[in-house]
């Protein structure tokens, strides 16, 4: 679809995106060059330049967004986390190896397990604080968002809800994911208004169950195909067919089901989100997500990896194009947020390598 057609479709929507890939290309290539020259250090300033452009080309109702974060915030946040977490874990790793060499493998195992729990906990904190930081640096009509919650309580919720979700053969994963989504957003605000998130995991469970049901559909079919080959060499061909079906299930079936599940999950999650009198919606369905990722792959492969620099642009455009909001907002009653401003960016998210644009 042409850029002009997309923009025309967005005129009647609460959200609109007015950037073009040609306009973004100089920013993307400059970011790539400077990141290579500085051995990766410029990535924090590259992220800031990218967000500044994308936010400035994004309209919500009657005004465009503004990104006020800085590369220095992201860089120093990353360094601070490496100092606070990296050094202790480095000593812990060498200490565990020393304990194993001294015959204390049990103690080393306990330390390893505790390290895993701590890292898992910090990932939860990182996801919470990243959302808080992004809302705090996003301005609309001069108003920003944020949260006074530090995310430490959410980190524990992230740990125990995820573990409980996987205990019964993973059947409660959709419930854990939606509960964490709601908990994170219910601690966020924009201006004087708190977000309200009431997404229901029941609406996503059927999609998730396909992961468990698909093998029961594939195995009988594979056995039927195998039995048609007869005996001897033909039977070997049937076994080969079963193996091929199994590989297809692992590398094609499961990813497609998970994509269908996530498309439903994200749509339900956003639809359960509200801010004062505004209700949010997300229209992208499984086929829309599939087209997005399929073109991503073609772009990256076709350009020998250079196309990676355009993925942030494509994903942001996809997100904004499919976002919608209904209701009315009183601009006269919209006052500035008094939440605490985070000063160190998303260093924890980058340090743990779980960053999301």
Residue 86, in any domain of the structure: yes
Cα distance between residue 17 and residue 218, in whole Å:
43
- In this prediction, residue 221 has a pLDDT band, given cuts at 50, 70 and 90, of low
Residue 273, in any domain of the structure: no
- In this prediction, residue 229 has a pLDDT band, given cuts at 50, 70 and 90, of low
Cα distance between residue 61 and residue 317, in whole Å:
16
Cα distance between residue 290 and residue 6, in whole Å:
19
pLDDT attached to residue 8: 46
Higher pLDDT, 22 or 90: 22
Residue 108, in any domain of the structure: yes
The residue segments making up the domain with residue 90 are: 3-260+336-351
The pLDDT tens digits for 105-162 are 788 788 778 888 888 888 898 889 889 999 999 999 999 999 999 899 999 999 999 9
CB 151 within 8 A of CB 116: no
Terminal-to-terminal C-alpha distance of the chain: 24
State the DSSP string of 165-219: HHTTTTTTHHHHHHHHHHHHHTT-EETTEEEEE---THHHHHHHHHHHHHHHHHH
Handedness of CA 134, 139, 140, 144 (dihedral sign): positive
Cα distance between residue 30 and residue 304, in whole Å:
18
CB 146 within 8 A of CB 337: yes
pLDDT attached to residue 100: 75
Nearest to 357 by CA among 312, 290, 299, 297: 312
Handedness of CA 178, 184, 190, 192 (dihedral sign): positive
pLDDT attached to residue 355: 44
Q: How far is CA 66 from the centre of its chain?
A: 21
Number of domains in the chain: 1
The CB-side HSE value for 270 (13 A sphere, CA atoms) comes to 18
Handedness of CA 31, 32, 36, 40 (dihedral sign): positive
State the DSSP string of 60-80: ETTEE-EE---HHHHHHHHHH
Question: What are the phi and psi torsion angles at 186 (to 5°)?
Answer: -70, -10
Enclosing H/E stretch for 109: helix 105-136
Cα distance between residue 242 and residue 190, in whole Å:
54
| Per-residue pLDDT at 315 exceeds 90 | yes
- In this prediction, residue 303 has a pLDDT band, given cuts at 50, 70 and 90, of very high
CB 190 within 8 A of CB 275: yes
Residue 240, in any domain of the structure: yes
Q: Return the percentage of the chain with pLDDT > 90, whole number.
A: 57
Residue 331, in any domain of the structure: no
The pLDDT tens digits for 12-52 are 689 999 999 999 999 999 999 999 999 999 999 999 999 99
Residue 287, in any domain of the structure: no
Residue 143, in any domain of the structure: yes
The pLDDT tens digits for 230-285 are 555 555 655 666 677 677 777 788 889 999 999 999 999 999 999 999 999 999 99
Residue 270, in any domain of the structure: no
The structure's pTM equals 0.86
The pLDDT tens digits for 43-88 are 999 999 999 999 999 999 999 999 999 999 888 888 877 777 776 7
Judged by DSSP in three states, 315 sits in helix
Cα distance between residue 36 and residue 41, in whole Å:
9
Higher pLDDT, 84 or 303: 303
- In this prediction, residue 344 has a pLDDT band, given cuts at 50, 70 and 90, of low
């Amino acid at each position: 679809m042409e850029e002009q057609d997309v923009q025309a479709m967005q005129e009647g929507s609460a959200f609109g995106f007015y950037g073009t890939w040609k306009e973004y290309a100089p920013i993307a290539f400059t970011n790539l060059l400077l990141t290579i020259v500085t051995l990766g250090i410029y990535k924090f300033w590259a992220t800031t330049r990218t967000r500044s452009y994308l936010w400035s080309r994004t309209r919500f109702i009657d005004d465009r967004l503004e990104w006020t974060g800085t590369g220095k915030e992201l860089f120093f946040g990353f360094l601070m986390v490496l100092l606070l977490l990296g050094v202790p874990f480095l000593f812990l790793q060498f200490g565990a190896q020393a304990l194993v060499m001294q015959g204390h493998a049990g103690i080393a195992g306990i330390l390893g397990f505790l390290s895993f729990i701590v890292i898992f906990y910090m990932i939860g904190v990182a996801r919470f604080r990243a959302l808080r930081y992004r809302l705090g640096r996003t301005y609309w009509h001069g108003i920003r968002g944020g949260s006074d919650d530090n995310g430490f309580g959410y980190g524990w919720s992230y740990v125990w809800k995820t573990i409980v979700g996987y205990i019964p053969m993973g059947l409660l994963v959709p419930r854990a994911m939606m509960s964490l989504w709601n908990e994170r957003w219910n601690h966020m605000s924009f201006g004087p208004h708190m977000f309200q998130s009431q997404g229901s995991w029941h609406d996503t469970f059927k999609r998730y169950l396909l992961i468990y049901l698909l093998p029961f559909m594939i195995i009988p079919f594979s056995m039927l195909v195998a039995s048609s080959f007869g005996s001897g060499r033909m039977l070997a061909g049937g076994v080969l067919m079963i193996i091929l079906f199994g590989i297809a299930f692992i590398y094609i079936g499961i990813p497609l089901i998970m994509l269908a599940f996530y498309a439903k999950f994200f749509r339900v999650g956003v639809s359960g989100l509200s801010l004062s009198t505004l209700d949010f919606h997300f229209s992208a369905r499984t086929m829309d997500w599939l087209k997005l990722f399929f073109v991503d792959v073609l772009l990256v492969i076709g350009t020998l990896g250079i196309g990676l620099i355009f993925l942030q642009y494509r994903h942001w455009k996809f997100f904004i194009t499919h976002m919608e909001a209904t209701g009315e907002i009183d601009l006269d009653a919209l006052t500035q947020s008094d939440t605490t401003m985070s000063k160190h960016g998303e260093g924890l998210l980058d340090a743990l390598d779980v960053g999301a644009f």
